[in-house]
Amino acid sequence: MNNITFELHPELAADLRQQGADIERTLKILSILSEHKQTGTEMGPVSLPKEGDERITDLEQLETLVISKNEAEVFFSRFSIPPSFISKIDFDGTSYILNKSDLCRLGIYLYPYTAYGVLNGGSATTYGDSKKNEALSPAAFSLLREDFLSHAEQCKSSPKGITSAFFEADGSPGPSFLLLKMRSLLIHALEYRLITKDYKRPVLPFFQMTSDSTDAKLKTAYEQYRRDPILEPLIVETGLDPTAALSAKQGLIAALTHSSEGFPRRVFDHAYGKPNRGLALPGGHGENFRVLAPVYRELHSQGIRFVYLGNVDNSGYTVDPIELAYFALRAHTKGAEAAFEFSWRTPVDVKGGILVQEPEGSLTVGEIGQRIKADTVKEEEAQGAHVLFNCATGLFNLDYLVNNLETIPDRLPIRVSDQDKEAGKYAQAEQTTWEILGLMKQPEIIAVRKNRRFIAAKMLLETFLASPRGVLIDHSAEVESSLTETSRLLRKGLQDLLAQEYGFVSVQGRYEPRPVAVLKEEIIRRFGSA
């Protein structure tokens, strides 16, 4: 243990409190960094996972999953799986053999034990920043400039989750990210109601992490969503209301001193050149394990045993019943703590967080260029190693989370990055949700297709490129061919999601929600009933 004591000048402490900074948590972070002699910029040696790693599963390639009779019967009993379903599974006398259809139906039976959560970002200021968007592709930005400018200001003043998830072919805005996610949850709930004939049990409760800058605006939006024709008929039909979200607000963390001021770091105390003035900053989505701890415990007390967690701006982040059933069985038989989605590399994937392996064999997420050199990635890929990009989607065993909530916040790596901005030279400390992977003994890695599960939008221009409106760039000689191809890939993925996952149909070039009666017919035709 170290003997360093961090004390704040009363004026600095008062200033930080006024800005909404969590001083206690800030001092805890400083203590952790000092105790472990961390600078927050360590780059230990890592490699790519090798071919055949049994922790990596491509569910699209999975034909069957075998589970022993004894393990299966305990699982079926624990989750009240009805005999009528069990009798239809192939059984060879010692084991049950589940095909994809079995897994899909089993996943639906697990909806009462599953919650769905989103990590809301802050107000979409950077998302709608013209300079940052133009830097992605000057040619594409030029083609879509008028569309961009007509929506950017509205985005800047709103939480990203309530901005449009896509733009129609004529440039008009479609439903928001959160409206789509809530509709998807209700459609899955409708599956459960029709298949099981159970119209009483709550299923797939919705939870979220907000911030001081987004919480009030989200609450106002949800009041409107409850009466929106995209949701209201499904709320009435299922008796469920995702707009009544379980929620917790993330506070802010004080900025730390720049590395040029030496170590151990201290609380930054001269913002904008003024003595005893601090700077309050977000602490990263990894703080959800601390901020949402009461929500996780409440869900667990309600009987929830699995929680989905993902970013609000990924239109591909939805409930997948096959994935849910697969993970639930792996948690039961192998003790898997969580399953994380990673997408196979595409030609345009050259930076971002990828799946890497520590020297002792554990898996985690590392940024290309920060945690693993780009040349190392190329060399190992040439030798047949996997390159899988983080989709920021996880499915957690809630028993594991609840049993470890006291220790995860202090064990999760703290990444400290130096900044040089208007406020001065300082450092920002953040925790990344997905580095929890490195704390686990039996994680599951789900390899997915990017255009099905990872249609993310860090910039408004990316939303346009993945939208029907993105067709504008298809015949442009100025736009990079790789970007045009990526746009086509993502547009096809979004088109499939809108039809298959979100229950929309294209009517005269615009996407409209299919009526509940039509959705019910489609579900019964696909699954039958109990």
Mean local confidence (pLDDT), 59-78 = 96
Mean local confidence (pLDDT), 25-36 = 90
pLDDT digits (tens, 9 = 90+) for 120-179: 966 667 788 888 899 889 999 999 999 999 998 888 878 999 999 999 999 999 999 999
The C-alpha atoms of residue 523 and residue 508 are separated, in whole angstroms, by 25
Name the residue with higher pLDDT: 351 or 342: 342
pLDDT digits (tens, 9 = 90+) for 181-215: 999 999 999 999 999 999 999 999 999 999 988 99
- Residue 520's nearest CA partner among 67, 192, 94 is 192
- Residue 502's nearest CA partner among 186, 212, 290, 232 is 186
pLDDT given at position 29: 94
Residue 166 burial class via C-beta count within 10 angstroms: exposed 0-12, middle 13-18, buried 19 and up = buried
Residue 92 burial class via C-beta count within 10 angstroms: exposed 0-12, middle 13-18, buried 19 and up = exposed
Average pLDDT, the chain: 92
Strands 306-311 and 388-397: antiparallel
pLDDT digits (tens, 9 = 90+) for 470-527: 999 998 888 988 889 889 999 999 999 999 999 999 999 899 999 999 999 999 999 8
pLDDT digits (tens, 9 = 90+) for 35-60: 876 555 455 688 898 878 888 999 99
Helix axes 516-527, 177-196, angle to 10 degrees: 50
What residues does 96 pair with on adjacent strands? 67, 91
DSSP of 218-244, one letter per residue?
HHHHHHHHTT-TTTHHHHHHHT--TTS
Inter-residue contact 502 to 184 (CB < 8 Å): yes
Contacts made by residues 413-418, CB under 8 angstroms, sequence distance 24+? 413/438, 414/29, 414/32, 414/33, 414/38, 414/40, 415/40, 415/41, 415/284, 416/33, 416/38, 416/39, 416/40, 416/41, 416/256, 416/265, 417/40, 417/41, 418/258, 418/259, 418/260
Kindly give the residue spans of alpha helices, DSSP state H, lying in 370-475: 374-382, 398-404, 408-411, 450-453, 460-465
Kindly give the residue spans of alpha helices, DSSP state H, lying in 144-281: 145-156, 177-196, 215-225, 232-238
What amino acid is encoded at 10 in this protein?
P
Q: How would you write 96-111 as a 3-class SS string? A: EEEEHHHHHHHHHHCH
The pTM assigned to this predicted structure is 0.93
- For 351, which DSSP code? S
pLDDT given at position 6: 77
Q: What ranges make up the beta strands (E) of 33-110? A: 56-58, 64-68, 90-91, 95-99
pLDDT given at position 310: 97
Rama region for 282: left / alpha / beta (φ>0; ψ in -120 to 50; rest): beta
pLDDT given at position 42: 52
Rama region for 12: left / alpha / beta (φ>0; ψ in -120 to 50; rest): alpha
Q: How confident is the model at residue 78 (pLDDT cuts 50, 70, 90)?
A: very high
pLDDT digits (tens, 9 = 90+) for 246-258: 999 999 999 999 9
pLDDT given at position 371: 83
pLDDT given at position 1: 45
Mean local confidence (pLDDT), 58-72 = 95
The phi, psi pair for 423, rounded to 5°, reads -75, -15
The C-alpha atoms of residue 460 and residue 465 are separated, in whole angstroms, by 9
What residues does 401 pair with on adjacent strands? none
Rama region for 272: left / alpha / beta (φ>0; ψ in -120 to 50; rest): left
pLDDT digits (tens, 9 = 90+) for 430-470: 999 999 999 999 999 999 999 899 998 888 999 999 999 99
The C-alpha atoms of residue 336 and residue 400 are separated, in whole angstroms, by 9
- Residue 320's nearest CA partner among 505, 187, 486 is 187
